[in-house]
Structure formats: structure tokens, C-alpha cells
Amino acid sequence: MHSQHTRVTPPEASGLATLDTPAALISVPRMQHNIARMQAQADALGVGLRPHVKTSKCTPVTQAQLAAGARGITVSTLKEAEHFFAAGITDILYAVCIAPHRLPQALTLRRRGCQLKLITDSVEGAQALADYGRQQGEAFDVLIEIDTDGHRSGIKPDSPAVLAVAEILRQAGMSLLGVLTHAGSSYELNTPEALTALAEQERAGCVLAAERLRSQGFACPVVSVGSTPTALAAGHLHGVTELRAGVYVFFDLVMHNIGVCAQEDIALSVLTTVIGHQRDKGWAIVDAGWMAMSRDRGTARQQQDFGYGQACDEAGRPLPGYVLIGANQEHGILACAAEPDPDIETRFPIGTRLRILPNHACATGAQFPVYHALAEDGQPQPWSRFHGW
């Protein structure tokens, strides 16, 4: 499957000498390649692409996605919505069921001109949203979350609750835009056939819910599906209007294990420095611990365990077999996973700079307040990233 992917030459490491470590690096050529790939997929499938910007939480990254053809964005917090609205982006989907205490914040955003869309997946949640909207004279734009794979949130496509939620919203004068689903269980798969089958399950379930609503007089113009693996595996998206995906912008080792990217496609890495050795154990100690890489050990549940990350040289070329086998708060333990390397001190002398590819790009990115974006010339440019709710 990887042979289909175009390789992007890693930027040279010449501009990294000025950076302290650990530092989060973005290979801009790889990122742009990933953006173009997903946009081309959405275009080929005839649907809009609404990227999930929780992966980067970074304005230049999001602007690159929009420049490539994305139509609006998806966020996971209202802080993201506020940040990107302030940056001039108005078409925003908040893809987490709205908690009642957040409705005033959502209302403020809408009254300032943000085209904020909300989701709900229960009669109780819909009632709270409807009551508040009616009290405030606001017709919120709402999508019903559909559970197409038993992974997390949502109402089953054939459940009576789908119509009950829609009726509550209609009676209160809310604007029911449509239905939304996320096939998060795709992260547990690793074959093209399984991914394609789940993509079809995701599509069919969401379309079924939309058709049930339409049969009862609800317009349901939006049918929104997506996860990075199913988005890339879908054979067709008949009946779907938009695709959502997030981690594709950087990719990571979990996505590599799933089979949707090569290591050379991963655009996010952590620059680290070798600070010591345990020769008898075959360890090199680096200054990127779990505070830099995150605690995410997603690859431990997959067919290839990369520990806390895959080691690369300073230019970003993977060093097969060498991974962070352990991590403390500020210490990472780098070793050959197959067997101890007796030449670890010679191979990675103190002061050596390496890059570590992350298990989960969203989690690793969240450890840093700034990315250092590397263009073709390898010169780092700071791109700020924000945190919190």
C-alpha cells in the first residue's frame, strides 16, 4: 500500500542548530503533500473537506488546509472556535456534544458573526439546547451525531431517538442541518479491505439516518462523515456531503501501522539531544521524555510497537530499529528494539541531535506552545500553538 505514496525529501538539518531541545518540528513539504493528498481524495469523492484542526491547533497549518480547498473547519473546543474565528475563519463545526453550560459561549460566538454549528446525540441534550435557544431567540444550527461503529458517542442510525431529537429541535425553531458520524474504530484496523468496509459502514449508517429524517419532513442537507483512515479508504461517498479528518495533516506512527501513510510522510517530529548513555544496557539517553512525546502509547496495541517514538537522524530520515523504549518526565531511553546495541555510544555520541516521530501527532503537538516549521531550505520558522478549553 505504501508504494502508492509519493515520497517527499526531508528538509536538511542545517537550520536546526539554533533550536533548543526538545522542540516540535513540522516538515512543511511533507505537511503540504499530506494536505494535497486528502484534498484530492475529497475532490475525487465529490464531497467537501472540513478538516479537524484539533490536531495542529495552529493558524498557519489551518490556513494551508483552507488554501488547498477545504470548506470550513471542525474544532473540538470552543476555545479553538474563538481562536480561528478571530483569525477570520467563520464556518466552524464544534464536533463535540454541546454541554448546557457552554451554550452562552456558543451564542456569543454566533452573535459576533461566527457560523458556528453544534451537535447533540440525546433527547436530554437536544432539549437543553432547544430551551436555551428559544429563551435567547436564537435558531442554533445543529447536527445530530450518529453512532455507526459503536466507538464512542452518537445515536444508532435506526434508533427512534434520531427522530425524537429532530422533533425537539424543530418545535423549538432550531435549524437542523443534518447528521454527523465519526468511525473512530478505524484506528483498530490495519488492512485496506477492513478500512474500506468500515468506510462503507460509516457512510451507509449516516446516510440511513439522513433518509429517515427526510422521510419525516426534515430537510437534512448535511451528511458529514470521516476519520483519516476511512476518508482515505472510501471507495465512494454517495449521499454524503462532507468529509472530516484531522491527523492526516501530520500523520503519525499509529496511522503508519494502520497502513495509510509511510514513515516518510509523517510531518511532525520532536528534535532531541543525546545527553548520556547506559552502555551495558545499550541505551542512549535523550532529553525528550514523556513531557515532550506525551504518554500516548497507541502503537503498543498494534502489530508494531514503536515505544514512545521512532528515531530519525537530524534530517528526518528514519533509523530502522531504533525507538524510544522508555520515557520519564524529561528523559527518553533510546535503544535498538530488537537487541541491545553495544556500539550505542559510538553510534549516538553525547550532543547528537535526532528527531523522534510520534505515536499520536495530536498528543505530541499538545506538549508544545510552538512548532518550528521547516520549509525546503530547512530554516525554522516559529508557528504558535494554543492549548486549553
Is 195 found in the same domain as 52? yes
Domain shared by 73 and 147, yes or no? yes
Q: What is the mean pLDDT of residues 71-81?
A: 98
Are residues 158 and 107 part of one domain? Answer: yes
Look at residue 34 and tell me if it is in a domain: no
Same domain, 168 and 82: yes
Report the 3 state secondary structure along 230-260. Answer: HHHHCCCCCCCCEECCCHHHCCCHHHHHHCC
3-state secondary structure of 179: strand
Residue pLDDT, tens place only, 209-219: 999 999 999 99
73 and 198 housed in the same domain: yes
DSSP per residue over 350-379, as a string?
TT-EEEEE-S-HHHHHTT-SEEEEE-TT--
Q: Specify the 3-state DSSP secondary structure of 63.
A: helix
C-beta of residue 261 within 8 angstroms of C-beta of residue 35 = no
What are 143's strand-pairing partners?
119, 178
- Whether the pLDDT of residue 1 is over 70: the answer is no
Residue 17 lies in a domain: no
Q: What is the DSSP letter of 9?
A: P
Boundary residue ending a domain (250, 274, 307): 250
Q: Reply yes or no on whether the pLDDT at 2 is more than 80.
A: no
Mean pLDDT of the chain, nearest integer: 96
Query: Position of cell 528538509?
Result: 11
- CA separation for the pair 79, 365 (Å, rounded): 17
- pLDDT 10s digits, 151-161: 999 999 999 99
Buried-state track 301-327, b at ≥16 Cβ within 10 A, e below 16: ebeebbbbbbbbbbebebbeebbbbbb
CATH code for the domain in which residue 310 is found: 2.40.37.20
Q: Do both 92 and 228 map to the same domain?
A: yes
Question: Could you tell me if residue 10 is inside a domain?
Answer: no
- Residue 3 has what pLDDT? 37
**How many domains would you assign to the chain?**
2
pLDDT tens digits, 226-270: 999 999 999 999 999 999 999 999 999 999 999 999 999 999 999
Residue 224 and residue 302 in one domain: no
A 10 A CB-CB count for 231 gives 27
Q: Is the pLDDT of residue 100 over 80?
A: yes
Rama region for 113: left / alpha / beta (φ>0; ψ in -120 to 50; rest): left
Domain C-terminal end among 250, 279, 305: 250
Residue 200 lies in a domain: yes
Please report which confidence band the pLDDT of residue 9 belongs to, taking 50, 70 and 90 as the band edges.
very low
Is there a contact between 153 and 185 (Cβ–Cβ < 8 Å)? Answer: no
The H or E element containing residue 223 is: strand 222-225
Are residue 87 and residue 173 in the same domain, yes or no?
A: yes
The reply to whether 289 falls in a domain is: yes
Which domain range does residue 305 map to? 261-384
Q: Are residues 228 and 298 in the same domain?
A: no
* Residue 14: band (very low, low, confident or very high) from pLDDT cuts 50, 70, 90: low
Burial, 338: exposed, middle or buried (Cβ in 10 Å; 0-12, 13-18, 19+)? exposed
Residue 237, in any domain of the structure: yes
Contact 11, 374 (CB under 8 A): yes
Judgement on whether residues 72 and 198 belong to the same structural domain of the protein: yes
Phi-psi region of 239 (alpha: psi -120 to 50; beta: other; left: phi over 0): left
Q: Three-class SS of residue 89?
A: coil
CB 36 within 8 A of CB 246: no
Residue 325 shares a structural domain with residue 371: yes
**Which pLDDT value is given to residue 7?**
45
177-211 pLDDT tens trace: 999 999 999 999 999 999 999 999 999 999 999 99
Residue 30 falls inside a structural domain? no
Percent of the chain past pLDDT 90, that is, above it, reads: 95
Mean pLDDT of 304-318: 97
Tell whether 226 and 81 lie within a shared domain.
yes
Strand ranges across the sheet with 91-97: 48-49, 242-243, 222-225, 175-181, 141-146, 115-120, 91-97, 73-75
Query: Which of 201, 227, 250 delimits the end of a domain?
Result: 250
Residue with cell 479508504: 233
For position 65, which CATH number holds? 3.20.20.10
**Percent of the chain clearing pLDDT 70 (strictly above):** 96
Interior/surface letters 176-192, b for 16+ CB within 10 angstroms, e for the rest: bbbbbbbbbbbbebeee
* pLDDT tens sequence across 360-383: 999 999 999 999 999 988 899 999
Q: Is residue 20 part of a domain?
A: no
